[in-house]
Structure 1
Amino acid sequence: MAGQAVVTRAAAALPGVGPAMWQRLALLGIEQPADLLLHLPLRYEDRSQLSSIASLRDGQHALVRGQVEATELTQRRRRALLVSLADSSGSVTLRFFHFRPSQVQQFQPGAWLECYGEVRLGPMGLEMVHPEYRLLRGGASEPLPPAALTPVYPTTAGLTQASLRRLVGLALDRCGQHLPELLPPGLRAAEQISDLATALHGLHQPAADALLDERPSALHRLALEELLAHHLSLRRRRQQRQTRRAPVIRASGALRHRLLEALPFALTGAQKRVIGEVLADLARPHPMLRLLQGDVGSGKTLVAAAVALQAAEAGWQTAIMAPTELLAEQHFRNFCRWLPPLGLDPLWLAGRHTGRARAAILADIASGRAPLVVGTHALFQEEVQFARLGLVIIDEQHRFGVHQRLALRAKGDDGAQAPHQLIMTATPIPRSLAMTFYADLDTSTIDELPPGRTPVHTLAVPRRRKDELLTAIATTCAQGQQAYWVCPLIDESEALALSAASATAEELAATLPQLRVGLLHGRMKSREKETVMAAFLSNELQLLVATTVIEVGVDVPNATLMVIDHAERLGLAQLHQLRGRVGRGSADSRCVLLYQPPLSGEARARLAAMRETNDGFEIARRDLDLRGPGELLGTRQTGAVNLRVADLERDRSLLPRLPHLAGLLEREAPAMVPRLIDRWLGRGLDYGEV
């Protein structure tokens, strides 16, 4: 019923277009005339020049005119209508597989047609399959249409290009009614952009000579408006969050001080600064939403422990969610070292917990006896109930879908107040992206590594030198140290990655029989993973062959050599994360990027960046240059930034301007802000709080 109501309203909004047509349009996400105007062409075709039939070539798109010589209905493998079209230079066959009887009547010998389509080599020579055509009532002398580029739209079954062009034209006739201008003249003048109607006409009905000049500026106009809407929505969510209530978490800090005094090392200045920023947020009556970014090994977990102790001392529970069991278990082991001497026992909740053990864990969480709970996605299952959830810490947040993060946040939201949230990432976000797409978050940065950490020496080695590498592994392990050999995903196939890792482990065990070789991959059961990691941690295994499952959450200070096989297949951020598994002790460490020549230009640049710097923030900057903002933001992730017109790579130059323009719009035309957000996001704001 709701869908029918939408169709009925749309039909009323565009006279002459009935409900049946709107139902077909809905398959393209077009539910109102405004959506038609934002349904942009994929490309344009130049139909301003006629070609003689004799000049046609296979693969060419061409506009031709001619007279029908003959028609024929064939019944070979498929029923088809064949039309022979001729001009003074030659003839071409028009082939139609889908046609109506009335079309057969149109193609009477002597009729003049104008056709546009792709020329192909068929069984009887050159032909056009399902060309667009029109009857020429005035014969060969009928003038060509006005010189213009013809748009080609994304479409679906039952919707022809001609129909879409007609419908878009109807919407353009009332452009100001369907998509009114929302950007004030001052902002448009400052950015030197056209009004919206001019931009839309330039995109849907460009002149033949406009492709190089007007289309980019028209796209720029729409992209700016869309990106501005996303940025404004985040600013608005920040403002709305300040009206929500959250637990006021204050305590003397005695537990935190006892933890820090017991550590065999001192916190870095950056860790102390970040802890202070988070504690100040927790003491406020509004929900914290803070992004904590820090390079691999910068000490984010210790910061999480310190602020969780503050919550525990104040009588509130903390939930820490990690994307993999390896990372969650790494956190749990750290907390088990730090918290029990303070009289606190952390809990670990994983999918493998069943029966009475699971029931006991759930009871401790529900009663409030568990001050800190560590887990994976198991934490946000419906049966998990917290007594007093005051703080949610999410590690490597970009690996979770938005729905999952919302579900965990809801555990502590009773309608009256919501928990504080701390989001941690070891993939630093360049400042321009943070200001644009994390504008609703406060950001804290750990920008120094703990003392004693030695930079990892990185080198790139072609696979033909693999034997030299095996000698280096044997030497390293003979000196009492350990090594990793990582096999990446191949063609996004976990099965192939598993096969590669298993085969590599067998090969290395045979080639280096003096070494104890282990295997770790994502399809192993949790207890098998635990057993392998415990053996590697205790140096019972000297060489660990693994898939990229070890990218995060593995901390073995005695491991000093990392080999990344087929390193050319991995992105910069992932390479840097894997490199971070070594160099965690005081011994010199090496990372070998084993690659298969020849390298693409981008792969060469990635490996060069890894050799030239260990700085995660510089790595992130270069990753932005190489891959663009979309990959860095994880836009393929469920619930991530969903852009209709803007392209983060093409329009990246707009990003630094958005905060200034958002402030300008809020001052000059505040009434336009909610309308702009609604135009581009609609109900997408539901995700703004995660």
Structure 2
Amino acid sequence: MAVSRPALRLQDSLAALPGIGPALAGRMAGLGLTRIEDLLFHLPLRFQDRRRLLPIASLRPGMECAVLGEIVDLQRQTGRREQWLLRLADASGAALRLRFFHLSPALRQQWHSGRRLWCFGELRAGLQGLEMVHPEWQLADRGDFRPPEHLTPFYPSTQGIHQQQWRRFIAAAQELLPSLADPLQAYFPDWPSMADSIRYLHRGGERAPMAADREWQRVALEELLAHHLALRRERRKSAAQLAESVPDPRLWQRLRRTLSFSPTSAQERVIAEAVADLASQRPMRRLVQGDVGSGKTLVAVAILLHVVAAGKQVAVMAPTEILAVQLYERLQSWLSSLDVAVGLLLGSQGLRQRRTTMTDLQEGSLSVVCGTQALFQENVEFARLGLVIIDEQHRFGVEQRRRLLEKGDLPHLLVMTATPIPRTLAMTLHADLDISSIDELPPGRQPIDTLVLADDRREELIQRLHHLLAAGRQIYWVCPLIEESEILQLQAAETSYADLQAVLPEISIGLLHGRQRSEEKAQIMEAFRHGKLRILVATTVIEVGVDVPNASVMVIEHAERLGLAQLHQLRGRVGRGAQASVCILMYHAPLSAKARERLQILRASQDGFVIARKDLEMRGPGEFLGVRQSGERQLRIADLLRDEALLALLPGLAERLERDCPEAIDVLVQRWLGSGTAYAAIG
């Protein structure tokens, strides 16, 4: 007696589907697919329309199309490799040649004159007329022949899985769509159901699905909501944990009295918001975003002093060693009068220096440490870590941030970024964080005149720089590459350095790039900061954080190759002193339309929020927010910018689900994020 298979469920392993063995299941797991339900959300990359049959007489080279005709003959062709040529004719009176390099004996027996064949492929011009090479095909005179009724999907794949397998497995998963949980249907009765939306996204209608379709929006809403719910849940977990109340204002008040300027009202507001967090007995999780030069470092110093005064340690993590060194030097200059010990921990340091710093951290004699990824290595231990500050947070991976936070007992977290994003987007993307914005610049910041110049006017530019150098100005000269590249044909930093030395022999010029040792880079920056170097030729390693008030000229070669945010960051290195400043964007003609638009935006605005919004529109959220590099989970259906209207629905919808249907939250989070929700807890 035949043994009946148990009924399939969406939560079953993929191996439960007929045809999926351990090897195939392993390949699919590499794409993040482990359950049958996962196949429903493995959506097509593109579609082909194979429904319409074209007469062979109407075909032209380069077309992709479906034809149905009668086999006229099948011939074997010998030569360097065996080939089989099948001639197909239809009622139009024309014939088409099909070329196959592999044809089994069984197929050769089936394919005889008079049989009808359906095939789809790309047409090319052969020596004896039009031909298709290895088209997809079906015998059209068999009882089980079914011409395509819908668009044909093409799915993201991996080695060893072909498209016909994907279509078969996903079709089997769609048989279970009636059992798909749909907790949002009660809130959106006029929208398509989740099952209908998924079915539509896999096969389309008269055309391929588009992001504006209600079905697409329905699925995008659920995906965005799942991420939002995961972040809210982690935030509640964090809020439920008790953290030590640490704000002690004494050290900050002492430092304020020594400052030659007053913090802006925006800085005061952000400091107060963070101090309230520190006093709340829950772990602070706050994002501070502000434009280039808005004073984020002073805000961080004020907050860390409230923690240090309470007897706790602070770790400050920066994305580059140059920035870590600069933060260390700035903190030393501010905190030395307060008897606060500041250390530096870098991967490039000697073993003895690293061991000394690590011993001081472990024993508690070091209150503040600046560093890069070296801070979260296993052998780094803190006596009483109370606060983690992460600068340019989008440059760090989730795992890196988690490992640093685990160095303490529920330390507070402050993340900072000079890449501001729209508030609605920030509230969704960082639903686990409180958000503060430093939305004004300190008084005295000079406006920066931005010029766009073709690189064939380089000699003219250098002549003009003579006058600025004679007046005591310092100049950044930024090049995107270190060495010449014949492929990109970019002016390399080393070449520009040599050229400038040749035409300005009386001027002291330095060269800075990422391949130099940390000590060498620090010495060069120090020489430039103290005016010993008049021109600093550099790669984009100086993009973030470098502060030399006397440098008032920024030249950026091949500016058309850089993104808006990067160009704005580089431009922000000048305008920090009393002199009028200028940024010269040099480009190599011809400019693409997008490159021209970027340079025009830079000329027209110095508002980081405006520029960030434009950059987001031009580049897309994934690249803009750094999630491709940082390890954040990327959205599959939704788009944070395109679907911004949906973001406004999320907080209210999340509250209703939490109140009315809390069991649905696990369903949605598991569906879209699986077990990978821990990233939400760490900002």
Establish whether TM, by shorter chain, passes 0.5: yes
Could you report, residue by residue, the CA deviation over 1:583-620 in whole angstroms, capped at 9, with x for unpaired residues? Answer: 11111111111122332232222222222222212222
User: What is the aligned partner in structure 2 of residue 402 from structure 1?
Assistant: 398
**Is the contact made by 1:497 and 1:547 (CA closer than 8 Å) also made in structure 2?**
no
Q: Deviations over 1:53-90 (max 9, x none)?
A: 22221111111122222323445344433322222422
Describe the shift of the 1:483–1:404 C-alpha distance in structure 2 as closer, same or farther (beyond 3 A).
same
* Aligned mate of 2:200, from 199, 202, 205: 202
Q: Which runs of 5+ in 2 are unaligned?
A: 1-8
1:120 to 116, 119, 124: 124
Cα distance between partner residues in 1 of 2:658 and 2:10: 34
Structure 1 residue 582 displacement after superposition: 0.6
Cα separation, 2, equivalents of 1:397 and 1:494 = 34
Cα deviations by residue, 1:192-219 (Å, 9 ceiling, x for unpaired): 4210111122222344x25478983322
Q: Could you tell me which amino acid in structure 1 is paired with residue 430 of structure 2? A: Y
1:262-277 correspondence runs (5 A) = 262-277=258-273
Identity, in percent, stands at: 51
SS at match of 1:242: helix
Number of the residue aligned with 1:72? 75
**1: distance between equivalents of 2:666 and 2:256?**
47
Alpha-carbon distance change, 290 to 26 in structure 1, aligned in 2, over 3 angstroms: closer
1:185 alignment partner AA: A
Residue 509 of structure 1: how far off its partner (Å):
1.2
CA apart distance, 1:491: 12
Partner of 2:238: 241
Q: What is the distance in 2 between the residues matched to 1:661 and 1:561?
A: 50
TM-score with structure 2 length normalisation? 0.92
Give the secondary structure class of the aligned counterpart of 1:623: helix
Matches of residues 405-424 of structure 1 in structure 2 within 5 Å?
Answer: 405-413=401-409, 418-424=410-416
Q: Say if 2:424 and 2:647, in contact at 8 Å, map to a contact too.
A: yes
1:320 aligns with 2:323: no
Shift of 1:373: 0.5
Which residue type is aligned with residue 119 of structure 1? L
In structure 2, relative to structure 1, the CA distance for the partners of 1:284 and 1:568 (3 Å cut) is same
In structure 2, C-alpha distance between the alignment counterparts of 1:495 and 1:111, rounded to whole Å: 53
Structure 1 equivalent of residue 294 of structure 2: 298
Q: Determine the C-alpha separation between the residues in 2 that align with 1:242 and 1:302.
A: 27
Larger mean CA deviation between 85-94 and 24-33 belongs to 24-33
Matched AA of 2:155: Y
| CA positional deviation for 1:650 | 4.2
- Are 1:55 and 2:51 counterparts? no
**Of residues 159, 163, 187 in structure 1, which corresponds to 2:165?**
163
Tell whether 2:375 aligns with 1:367. Answer: no
Residue aligning to 1:659: 651
1:147 Cα offset (Å):
4.2
Report matched runs for 1:89-168 at 5 Å. 89-137=93-141, 145=147, 147-168=149-170
Partner of 2:4 in structure 1?
A: none
Paired with 1:680 and 1:93, the residues of 2 have a C-alpha distance of 47
What is the one-letter code of the residue matched to 1:260? R
Structure 1 equivalent of residue 6 of structure 2: none
Q: 2: CA distance between counterparts of 1:167 and 1:96?
A: 27
Change (3 A) 1:8 1:343: closer
| Aligned-pair Cα RMSD in Å | 2.7
Structure 1 residues 119 and 288: alpha-carbon distance in aligned structure 2, compared to 1, 3 A threshold: same
User: Are 2:280 and 1:278 aligned?
Assistant: no
CA contact (8 A) 1:184 1:668 kept: no
Q: C-alpha displacement at 1:157, in angstroms? A: 4.7
CA distance in 1, matches of 2:310, 2:555: 46
SS of 1:303 mapped into structure 2: helix
What is the distance in 1 between the residues matched to 2:449 and 2:73?
76
Distance 1:23 1:527 in 2: 47
Letter in structure 2 aligned against 1:672: A
Residue number in structure 2 paired with 1:558: 550
Worse-matched range after superposition: 452-461 or 312-321: 452-461
Change beyond 3 A, Cα 1:280–1:230:
same
Contact residue 345 and residue 374 of structure 2 kept, 8 A: yes
Is contact 2:484–2:491 with CA below 8 Å preserved after alignment?
A: no
Distance in 2, matches of 1:298 and 1:21, equals 53
Match of 1:357 among 353, 357, 361: 353
The amino acid that maps onto 1:204 is: H
Write the letter of the residue equivalent to 1:148: H
Change (3 A) 1:151 1:591: same
- 2-side partners of 1:154 and 1:390: how far apart? 45
After TM superposition, list the pairs within 5 Å mapping 1:609-628 onto structure 2.
Answer: 609-628=601-620
Residues 18 and 405 (structure 1 numbering): CA distance in 2 closer, same or farther, change over 3 Å?
Answer: closer
How far did 1:402 drift? Answer: 1.4
Judge conservation of contact 1:203–1:215 (CA < 8 Å) in 2.
no
Matched with 2:455 is 463
Output the CA distance in 2 between the equivalents of 1:303 and 1:489: 34
Q: Please give the alpha-carbon distance, in whole angstroms, between the structure 2 residues aligned to 1:373 and 1:498.
A: 38
Question: 1:655 Cα shift?
Answer: 2.8
The alignment status of 1:599 with 2:552, answered yes or no, reads no
CA 12–138 in structure 1, closer or farther in 2 if over 3 Å, else same: closer
Deviates further, 42-51 or 253-262: 42-51
Q: Distance in 1 between matches of 2:639 and 2:307?
A: 42
Q: Which amino acid aligns with 1:608?
A: Q
Show the 5 A alignment for 1:434-473.
Answer: 434-473=426-465
**4+ residue runs over 6 A deviation:** 212-215, 490-499
In the alignment, the residues of structure 2 paired with residue 160 and residue 689 of structure 1 have an alpha-carbon distance, to the nearest angstrom, of: 38
Residues 150, 528 of structure 1: CA spacing in aligned structure 2 closer, same or farther, 3 A cutoff? Answer: same
Aligned with residue 310 of structure 1, among 298, 302, 306: 306
Q: Is the 8 A contact 1:282 1:420 kept in 2?
A: yes
User: Which AA in structure 1 matches 2:63?
Assistant: Q
Deviation at 1:496, TM superposition (A): 7.8
Aligned mate of 2:526, from 534, 537, 548: 534
Deviation (angstroms), 1:299: 1.5
Q: Given the superposition, is the C-alpha separation of residues 271 and 215 from structure 1 closer, same or farther in structure 2, using an over 3 Å criterion? A: closer
- Counterpart of 1:3 in structure 2 is none
**SS of aligned partner of 1:624:** helix
Q: Is the 8 Å Cα contact of residues 278 and 307 (structure 1) preserved in structure 2? A: yes
Q: 1:24 to 1:317 in 2, by over 3 A?
A: closer
Tell me the SS of whatever aligns to 2:62. coil
Question: Deviation of residue 629 (structure 1)?
Answer: 2.5
- C-alpha distance in 2 between matches for 1:147 and 1:358: 67
Q: Give the drift of 1:93.
A: 2.2
Decide which moves more: 576-585 or 481-490. Answer: 481-490
- What per-residue deviation string (whole Å, max 9, x for no partner) do you get for residues 3-27 of structure 1? xxx9995367546766665456445
The range that moved more, 618-627 or 329-338, is 618-627
Aligned to 1:515: 507
Structure-2 change in CA distance of 1:136 and 1:637 (3 Å): same
Q: Do structure 1's residue 219 and structure 2's residue 216 form an aligned pair?
A: yes
1:555–1:581 CA contact under 8 A, matched in 2: yes
- The reply on whether 1:42 has 2:45 as its aligned counterpart is yes
Gap regions ≥5 residues in structure 1: 1-5
Check conservation: 1:7, 1:23, Cα contact below 8 A.
no
The DSSP-based 3-state class of the residue aligned with 1:614 is: coil
Q: 1:90 to 1:25 in 2, by over 3 A?
A: farther
Q: Secondary structure at the match of 1:47?
A: coil
**Pairwise CA distance, 1:155:** 3.6
| 1:407 alignment partner, SS class | helix
**Take 2:210 and 2:583, find their aligned partners in 1: how far apart are those partners?**
48
Aligned residue for 1:393? Answer: 389
Work out the number of aligned pairs and report it: 673
Which one of the candidate residues 78, 84, 89 is aligned to 2:87? 84
For 1:311-350, list aligned pairs within 5 A. 311-350=307-346
Counterpart CA distance in 2 for 1:353 and 1:213 is 53
Instruction: State the Cα deviation string for residues 272-327 of structure 1 (Å, max 9, x = none).
Output: 22111111111222111100111112221122122222211111000001011111
